[in-house]
Amino acid sequence: MRRPLAMGLVVGLLAVGAAGCNRDTLRPGEARLTVTGRALVGKTDGALEPVSGTTRVRDGDRVKLIEGTAEVEAPGRTYELRCRGDRCADGSDLRIASRPTLLNGDLLVTTDGAPVVVEAAGSQVEVNGTARVSRSLAVSAVAYRGDVVLRSGGRPFTVPALRQAAVPARGVLPTTAPPLAYDEDDQWDRRLLGQAIAFGRELEARSHAFGASLRAGEGTTAGFYRQVLPALDGESSFDAALLRPARPAGETLVGAVIAVKGEHASFTERWRRIFSFRDEGAAWGLVALDQAVSEGAALVRELDVAIGRAPLQFAAAPASDSGSSGGGTTTATTLPAGGGSGGSGGGGGSRPRPNGPSTTTTTQPPSTTPTTQPPGPIPPPPETGLPADPVVLPLVEPTVDTLNGLLP
């Protein structure tokens, strides 16, 4: 007697589940709108009405954001809307369709399959990946992932990944697509480029510090970079022809490390693309990402090891005598190549040592006056506040300790 009841219960549960699935399934021409804040939605022939939370919209509906953020999810694609400014006076305004129309503001488009074409002010923006499309006085596109094709006046212009471009007026296409200029305070930039932004700062800092720590004239030959980056020995095409004498040594070293870590195209082509993109103004994090080098921590470690192999110059503070007057002179000391296991990310081998104390002594004439006390220990070098401190100080302090041990 209980079996029919149990069977009926199962059938009922399956029916409820099927009904739930049907409610979640989007029909052709439908999309799911999720508003975090407030938005206005209007039908093709109706007035705008306030909505919040999750609801369905159809082709022809207009979504105007007035507070917070919103997401429109359709099969194979999503559109994200946001406000500009605190009061959202210039928020996203979108007409839903298979080829949606951006009426105003910003739109983040992400596709999982076929490209999506967004209409804006008589121009078309074809997205195949992830891109930001903006409409105000001009129509602009920022390509985060994959290429973007701008079309206006029937003519196309391709914006490669990690670049941006704008159509200032209908039918007027750009002539160049400069590197993406990200804003660390922009929520979309932080989400999509956060890792590249973070380790890009590390690469920039090491580039400046390395160049400031070299002796004059160092970092200009292929042999120098083979010494600090042995992986270049395996690249037969790496020679003086690839180097530019006017380029700072830190810039060359960072680019060389990225070229070694990259895998696409030949080494010479990677080198050309790296420095071409950099010379156009791309941040180092974007340059690495453009070469599909996304392991930022590994890239920074490799750079630290290379810096540890270089002959670095530092200024040693002179020992002061309590009876002297006036300032002393600063002596420049050079650390030879050889790595530094105790340095910042240094490579193998022993810690770099100075050339040793000078064997030249000065003989004082006999005097009946009492001799003064020998000079005290050499103090450690002070922090200068320059970018070179994180690289130089860990190498200098052990050297000062060694010299102090030689003093009577």
What is the per-residue pLDDT across 9-56, written as a single tens digit (0 to 9) for each?
444 444 444 444 445 688 888 999 999 999 999 976 678 999 999 999
pLDDT of residue 394: 60
Give the pLDDT score at 74.
Answer: 94
CA distance 258 to 290: 10
Q: What is the pLDDT of residues 133-192, one digit of tens each?
A: 999 889 999 999 999 999 999 999 999 999 999 999 999 999 999 999 999 999 999 999
Alpha carbon distances (Å) from 384 to 130, 137, 342, 381, 399: 44, 47, 21, 9, 18
User: Can you tell me the distance from the alpha carbon of 192 to that of 170, in angstroms, rounded to the nearest whole number?
Assistant: 29
- Going from N- to C-terminal start, the domains of the chain cover 25-167, 182-320+331-355+377-408
What is the pTM assigned to this prediction?
0.72
> Where is average pLDDT lowest: 69-78, 119-128, 388-397?
388-397
As a residue count, the chain comes to 408
pLDDT for position 240: 95
Write down the mean pLDDT value for the chain: 80
> Which tokens in the block code for residue 29?
């021409």
C-alpha dihedral (357, 358, 360, 364), degrees to nearest 10: -50
Q: What is the pLDDT of residue 196?
A: 94
Kindly give, in sequence order, each residue whose CB lies less than 8 Å from that of residue 75, ignoring residues fewer than 6 positions away: 26
Q: Which of 195, 191, 196, 154 is nearest to 179 (CA)?
A: 196
Coil, helix or strand at residue 104: strand
Residue-level pLDDT at 239: 95
Confidence of residue 89 (pLDDT cuts 50, 70, 90): confident
Residue type, 149: V
Does residue 122 or residue 402 have the better pLDDT?
Answer: 122
pLDDT tens track for 292-322: 998 889 999 999 999 999 876 543 333 444 4
Residue carrying the six token digits 């095409």? 237
pLDDT digits (tens, 9 = 90+) for 274-290: 999 999 999 999 999 99
**Could you give phi then psi for residue 63, rounded to 5 degrees?**
-120, 115
Q: Which CATH number fits domain 25-167: 3.40.47.10, 3.10.105.10, 2.60.120.1440, 2.60.120.10?
A: 2.60.120.1440
